[in-house]
């Protein structure tokens, strides 16, 4: 009989919509809109088997976690799981962000807003911490409450491509599932599923 492969299931939850909406929040802290009890219960049910919880230190991620798990202690906060820093564009209304034209996938991954960081730099910041968690836990199921850019960076790690990862939509309060396999590879179970 062939033994079943042992792996670590990683469930990535994007935070609730920000309040007020319509602005670019990267490294800027922001509050969230109220999370409905129906969505909270749905996410709670999806994460019920998790043995460990991690979170960006951003208020929007912490409050989303608290909306789902009001009785649990706070998760482990990991500073590196903050959203991409958009530099001079932080907190601008979306319609005031300068149009960069049509960038190729490679150029988009390398592009940095003035005094900000690129998606490639975000990946360099976040991926080592995810790999550290994987090496420490190895098997089981964990949840990480974080941001769209960070979730895409983990997809980039699993896919081996930053350019492809940038093509994914990551909705607020959605869940993305990745498995870290025992051979060091990754399997993407699902992306952007409603919570």
Domain count, the chain: 1
In the chain, where do the E strands start and end?
7-14, 18-19, 31-32, 52-55, 76-77, 140-146, 174-181, 186-194
Q: Domain of residue 36: give its range.
A: 7-96+103-194
- Output the six-digit token pair for 64: 């989303």
Name the band, by pLDDT with cuts 50, 70 and 90, for residue 3.
very low
Interval 26-40 mean pLDDT: 95
In a domain, 64, yes or no: yes
Integer CA distances (angstroms), 24 to 4, 6, 21, 113, in order: 44, 40, 9, 12
d(CA 175, CA 158): 16
Residue 125 belongs to domain with CATH number: 3.40.50.1240
Q: Which helix (H) or strand (E) holds 148?
A: helix 148-159
pLDDT digits (tens, 9 = 90+) for 110-137: 999 999 999 999 999 999 999 999 999 8
Name the band, by pLDDT with cuts 50, 70 and 90, for residue 138.
confident
What is the model's pTM? 0.94
Name the band, by pLDDT with cuts 50, 70 and 90, for residue 5.
low
- Output the six-digit token pair for 46: 């999806």
Q: Given this model, what pLDDT does residue 99 score?
A: 85
For residue 65, pLDDT beyond 90: yes
In a domain, 2, yes or no: no
CA contacts within 13 A on the Cβ side of 171: 8
Count of all residues that appear for the chain in the document: 195
Contact between residue 12 and residue 178 where contact means Cβ atoms under 8 Å apart: yes
Percent of the chain at pLDDT > 90 equals 86
Eight-class DSSP state of 125: H
Q: Given this model, what pLDDT does residue 4 score?
A: 47
CA contacts within 13 A on the Cβ side of 44: 14
In a domain, 1, yes or no: no
Transcribe 10-53 into DSSP letters.
EEEEEPPPEES-SB--SSS--EEPPPPHHHHHHHHHHTTT-SEE
């Amino acid at each position: 009989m062939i033994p079943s492969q042992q792996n670590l299931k990683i469930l990535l939850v994007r935070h609730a919509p920000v309040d007020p909406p319509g602005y670019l929040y990267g490294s800027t802290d922001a509050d969230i809109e109220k999370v409905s009890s129906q969505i909270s219960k749905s996410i709670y049910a999806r994460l019920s088997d998790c043995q460990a919880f991690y979170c960006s230190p951003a208020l929007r991620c912490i409050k989303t976690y608290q909306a789902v798990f009001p009785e649990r202690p706070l998760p482990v906060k990991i500073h590196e799981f903050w959203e991409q820093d958009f530099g001079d564009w932080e907190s601008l209304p979306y319609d005031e962000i300068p149009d960069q034209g049509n960038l190729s996938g490679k150029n988009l991954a390398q592009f940095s807003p003035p005094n900000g960081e690129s998606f490639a730099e975000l990946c360099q910041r976040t991926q080592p911490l995810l790999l550290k968690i994987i090496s420490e836990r190895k098997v089981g199921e964990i949840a990480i409450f974080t941001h769209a850019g960070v979730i895409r960076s983990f997809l980039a790690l699993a896919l081996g491509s930053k350019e492809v990862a940038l093509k994914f939509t990551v909705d607020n309060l959605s869940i993305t599932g990745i498995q870290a396999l025992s051979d060091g590879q990754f399997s993407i179970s699902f992306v952007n599923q409603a919570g």
